[in-house]
Amino acid sequence: MSSLRCIAKHPTISLVDSCTTLKELKQIHSQLLVKGLLNDPHLSGQFVATIAIRNPSNLGYSSKVLDQCENPTLFTFNSMIRAYSKSSTPSKSFHFYSRILQSRDNFLPDNYTFNFLVRTCAQLLARETGPSVHAALTKRGFENDPHVQSGLIFMYAELGCLHSCHRAFGEIVEPDLVCQTAMVSACARCGDVGFARELFDEMPQRDPIAWNAMIAGYAQCGKSREALNLFHLMQMEGVRVNEVSMVSVLSACSHLGALDQGRWAHAYIERNKLRMTVTLGTALIDMYAKCGNMNKAMEVFWGMKEKNVYTWSSALGGLAMNGFGEKCLELFCLMNKEGVHPNEVTFVSVLRGCTVVGLVEEGRQHFDSMKKLYGIEPQLEHYGCIVDLYGRAGRLDEALNFINSMPMKPHAGAWGALLNASRMYKNMEIGELASRKIVKLEAKNHGAYVLLSNIYADSKLWDGVSNVRRTMKAKGVRKLPGCSVLEVDGEVHEFLVGDKSHPRYNEIEAMLGEISRRLKLAGYVANTNPVLFDIEEEEKEDALCKHSEKVAIAFGLISLKEGVPIRIVKNLRVCWDCHDVTKMISKLFNREIIVRDRNRFHHFQDGECSCKGYW
């Protein structure tokens, strides 16, 4: 008979379900003792299980009650394993597993025992214990239990062991819907979205969990367009959409900078009266911030009834990314007044807020306060922020000294910030040092080579440029091609540097010609120094003209109605020439242009940029 067989609860034990305090629990316990009901092993087990499962904060009390039971049942031990597997101390589940094995009644663990232990291993991220539990359940013949099978797939996914997920799934003769959904979730989470989609398409039935897992998998591995396409298919098939679905959809919109689709998702949430949880609200703030609409992001922020530290950090990060450094620091001050304790992510946003407006001393004070006031040990990313803070302010020697004084080995991010500052302030000596350090850490880091080449080019040291190019070729390092994404009428268009495959490319090329004509009339001269290739000056100008963001801007000018901002997301840092050109285009065509590059936002309007040349 099952160790979790259904037994009607005794009326007195049922009171545990509604009790809220330890005092009430003790009163119920006293009644059971007075009536002698706890002498019945099944009733005592039921009492222990109800305490443990209904109120995790009383797990310690349930353990004490169990210790007083003369003949605890397997059901009781399994209930404790189950409760602890979901607690903040899941490792204690194994204590009760040991008690099963050592029981005087010669209990044998059953399928429920192992199902809960597998979940415990997933919670613990126990890479060694998980396979041991798998071996134990196989030895006892429970490898074909459907709940155990789906649990194993889930466990190996949590452990990041995709090969073991495939092996566990492959051993199932006829996987049911739960196992198929678990496998789709596992593969999607571990990045094997190709196999996940194949399995998803073959499923005779797909519940919301499978749809959400597939959409989340696409969003997490950067396939945002696929995530949005699948979401639209999900709606067409009439599948119930919930908060989990919308968080993934908003994440995809954030990645693409697809503001129209993000607005539509927001309207969908309101129209269908989905509950605005903290997670969903935070995702909305992040989406609007990463699409460059901070007014709307802050409107959502102020409208949220409940906020957590991630909500505040998301708003802070959005303000910093969009160049509103002072507002970021004002909001952080309010966060402290509200009594919300910051975390590591919060301070990354705060330090970036200082960086975008050049508040060096204030940034250093916030960095020092992390440990002194909040007990937060600075991580590599925080150190990188301070290097960037010093570097962008032109204080390169201080930036280098700071790197050399780091308590841990400096990472490529810190040296990269210094290299970029060297490029900005034309400091060849420090630039060469930073480049060598990066390449030593990441031999294939194309950005280090390109920035160093640009430093040489700015100083007219063409031999240095040639040496960098030869080194890149010898080591098989290729410059990552520029890619810019633009949304028009809810459709996302992607432009790669030099790509002519867009169906409206002839019109785009005509607009590029018109842009070039107006720029020259306005006195623009291309800055061709950074172009790596050994080609004629006229060809260099043409190469710059075909940078992906310029092509995207041209498409925006022919596709979007007059007055509609052009919003672009680029995978690389905007080059100096493109930055200068975009400023001029914003004035010559009277158009607001918003570019999100790898580092931050640039809001171009009337010939000016929000970054004020500080990026």
Encode pLDDT of 340-349 as tens digits.
999 999 999 9
Is 399 a domain residue? yes
- The SS3 assignment for 292 reads coil
Contact (CB, 8 A) for 150 and 178: yes
Q: Cα-flanking dihedrals φ and ψ of residue 546, to 5°?
A: -95, 10
Q: Report whether pLDDT(386) > 50.
A: yes
pLDDT of 7: 52
Q: Based on the domain organization, do 63 and 25 belong to the same domain?
A: yes
Q: Based on the domain organization, do 44 and 101 belong to the same domain?
A: yes
Confidence bin at 467 (pLDDT 50/70/90):
confident
Q: What is the CATH number of the domain that holds 445?
A: 1.25.40
Task: Give the domain-ending residue among 73, 108, 143.
Answer: 108
Is 214 a domain residue? no
Q: What tokens appear for 187 in the block?
A: 């593969």
User: What value does the mean pLDDT take over residues 428-435?
Assistant: 90
Is 35 a domain residue? yes
- With CA atoms as reference, report the closest residue to 455 among 537, 383, 396: 396
Q: Based on the domain organization, do 475 and 501 belong to the same domain?
A: no
Encode pLDDT of 470-498 as tens digits.
887 877 777 778 899 999 988 889 998 77
Tell me the range of 162-176, 189-203, 358-372 where mean pLDDT is highest. Answer: 358-372
- Cβ neighbours for 429, distance < 8 A, ≥ 6 positions apart: none
Helices (H) and strands (E) in the chain — how many of each? 32, 6
How far is 210 from 453, CA to CA, in rounded Å?
48
How far is 606 from 246, CA to CA, in rounded Å?
36
pLDDT of 533: 44
Q: What tokens appear for 49 in the block?
A: 């299980």
Encode pLDDT of 552-564 as tens digits.
999 999 999 998 9
The residue ranking higher by pLDDT, 157 or 613, is 157
The residue ranking higher by pLDDT, 556 or 22, is 556
Q: Within 10 Å of residue 442's Cβ, how many Cβ atoms?
A: 15
- The SS3 assignment for 126 reads coil
How far is 119 from 231, CA to CA, in rounded Å?
29
pTM above 0.85, yes or no: no
Q: Based on the domain organization, do 354 and 445 belong to the same domain?
A: no
Contact (CB, 8 A) for 381 and 392: no
Q: Based on the domain organization, do 428 and 546 belong to the same domain?
A: no
Q: Based on the domain organization, do 27 and 95 belong to the same domain?
A: yes
Q: Report whether pLDDT(362) > 90.
A: yes
Q: Based on the domain organization, do 456 and 402 belong to the same domain?
A: yes
The overall average pLDDT reported for the chain is 87
User: What value does the mean pLDDT take over residues 527-533?
Assistant: 52
Encode pLDDT of 160-187 as tens digits.
899 999 999 998 888 888 888 889 989 9
Is 279 a domain residue? no
Q: Which residues of 586-599 are buried (b: 16+ CB within 10 A; e: fewer)?
A: bebbebebbbbbeb
Is 258 a domain residue? no
Tell me the range of 201-205, 269-273, 282-286, 319-323 where mean pLDDT is highest. Answer: 282-286
Is 196 a domain residue? no
pLDDT of 611: 82
Instruction: Say how far residue 543 (Cα) sits from the centre of its chain.
Output: 34
How far is 463 from 467, CA to CA, in rounded Å?
6
**What is the domain range of residue 324?**
307-378
Task: Give the domain-ending residue among 348, 378, 408.
Answer: 378
Q: Based on the domain organization, do 466 and 508 belong to the same domain?
A: no
Is 241 a domain residue? no
Is 172 a domain residue? no
Encode pLDDT of 73-112 as tens digits.
898 899 889 988 888 888 999 999 999 998 877 788 999 9
Q: Give residue 465's identity as a one-letter amino acid code.
A: V
Q: Bin 311: left if φ > 0, else alpha if -120 < ψ < 50, else beta.
A: alpha
Q: Based on the domain organization, do 410 and 351 belong to the same domain?
A: no
Task: Give the domain-ending residue among 326, 360, 378.
Answer: 378
Confidence bin at 615 (pLDDT 50/70/90):
low
pLDDT of 556: 95
Q: Based on the domain organization, do 390 and 367 belong to the same domain?
A: no
Per the structure, how many domains does the chain have?
4
